[in-house]
């Protein structure tokens, strides 16, 4: 390896290979392993120092060996050391082939008759790398023309719309697991027993002092009736718990102490008090809150009663 790669190339190659292996093996999420885990950075620094130390030790041993040789052996050693590595020779040969130039001893084959004050012109061919790139661009252009202008392939705008749709789906999937992204505009009533149990624990810890354990009300309003000061329903209750009650009085804003998911849990638990009978209910406060479903039910019932009355009147008229 020392014959093919100089020390200034060996050390970075080995170091970055070890760093890449550590990055692959260690789970560090979106951050690099040496940032997420400082011990990994310390380990890589130690590896770098060891590699440099090894190069120094091997170089010192080479010098000791060189000093122990006679003049003839030293000459052979220097000649071998100054010999161009095979890897470098391979790169040089590839470069010459890609360049496609004629060696100096064969320039007479491509010399032109033009002569400008002793300066002659060579008829060099285009480099192979340039020709191959040109041919590849022609093939690419033909494929592009057929795909997008003959067979009407997806344009950049179509791909952008598809990426938007995929991103929207990914965001919705993320929201399902990221409960703390919820706010009063997107919150929904939680019905799982685990969420209601957590909401009950939060209510017991923070809300019982003002609303009592059964929601009958004390300093705070009664939570069991259908009257609400700042509006009922999950959205209004969530906002009230989060932002607090009326200015200058009422409940404090709990958003500083509770996560959005916890506010959703306690708000859902508060709604379970609706229709229950507390031991000492407080007088109703605020306005009667009627949900959309309740309104629809009442309108349907009223319409049904009107239909019955109309039917009775019709039957009575017919009988008369």
- For residue range 244-286, list pLDDT tens digits in order: 988 877 789 999 999 999 999 999 999 999 999 999 999 999 9
* Residue 2: predicted pLDDT: 55
Burial class (CB in 10 A: 0-12, 13-18, 19+), 232: buried
pLDDT at 311: 45
Give me the phi and psi of 203, to 5 degrees please.
Answer: -65, -45
The DSSP H or E segment spanning 120 is strand 119-122
Q: What is the DSSP letter of 287?
A: E
The angle subtended at Cα 107 by Cα 101 and Cα 113, nearest 5°, is 120
Q: Give the pLDDT confidence of 31-68 residue by residue, as tens digits.
A: 888 888 889 999 999 999 999 999 999 989 988 988 89
Q: Which of 131, 132, 109 is nearest to 120 (CA)?
A: 109
Distances (CA, A) of 80 to 17, 18, 60, 73: 29, 31, 18, 10
CA atoms of 25 and 155, how far apart (whole Å): 39
- Residue-level pLDDT at 83: 75
- Could you give the count of Cα atoms lying within 13 Å of 33 in the half-sphere of its Cβ? 16
**The predicted structure's pLDDT at residue 161:** 93
pLDDT at residue 293 in the model: 55
pLDDT score for 52? 93
**Residue 122: strand, helix, or coil:** strand
Give the residue ranges of the chain where pLDDT is below 70.
Answer: 1-5, 292-320
Provide the pLDDT for residue 249. Answer: 74
Contact 243, 234 (CB under 8 A): no
Regarding pTM above 0.75, the answer is no
């Amino acid at each position: 390896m020392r014959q093919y790669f100089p020390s200034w190339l060996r050390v970075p190659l080995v170091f970055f290979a070890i760093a890449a292996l550590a990055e692959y093996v260690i789970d560090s999420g979106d951050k690099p392993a040496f940032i997420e885990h400082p011990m990994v950075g310390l380990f890589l620094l130690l590896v770098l120092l060891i590699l440099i130390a090894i190069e120094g030790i091997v170089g010192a041993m080479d010098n000791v060996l060189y000093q122990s040789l006679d003049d003839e052996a030293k000459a052979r050693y220097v000649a071998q050391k100054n010999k161009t590595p095979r890897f470098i020779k391979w790169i040089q040969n590839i470069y010459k082939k890609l360049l496609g130039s004629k060696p100096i001893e064969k320039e007479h084959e491509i010399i032109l008759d033009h002569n400008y004050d002793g300066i002659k012109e060579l008829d060099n061919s285009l480099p192979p790398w340039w020709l191959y790139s040109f041919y590849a661009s022609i093939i690419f252009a033909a494929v592009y023309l057929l795909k997008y202008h003959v067979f009407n392939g997806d344009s950049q705008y179509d791909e952008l719309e598809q990426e938007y749709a995929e991103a929207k789906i990914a965001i919705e999937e993320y929201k399902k697991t990221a409960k703390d992204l919820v706010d009063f505009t997107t919150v929904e009533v939680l019905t799982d027993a685990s969420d209601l149990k957590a909401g009950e624990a939060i209510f017991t810890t923070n809300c019982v002092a003002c609303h009592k354990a059964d929601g009958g009300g004390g300093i705070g309003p009664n939570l069991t009736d259908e009257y609400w000061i700042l509006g009922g329903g999950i959205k209004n209750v969530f906002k009230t718990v989060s932002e607090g009650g009326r200015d200058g009085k009422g409940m404090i804003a709990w958003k500083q102490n509770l996560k959005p998911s916890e506010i959703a849990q306690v708000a859902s638990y508060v709604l379970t008090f609706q229709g229950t009978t507390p031991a000492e209910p407080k007088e109703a406060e605020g306005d009667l809150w009627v949900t959309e479903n309740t309104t629809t039910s009442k309108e349907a019932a009223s319409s049904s009663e009107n239909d019955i009355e109309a039917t009775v009147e019709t039957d009575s008229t017919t009988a008369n």
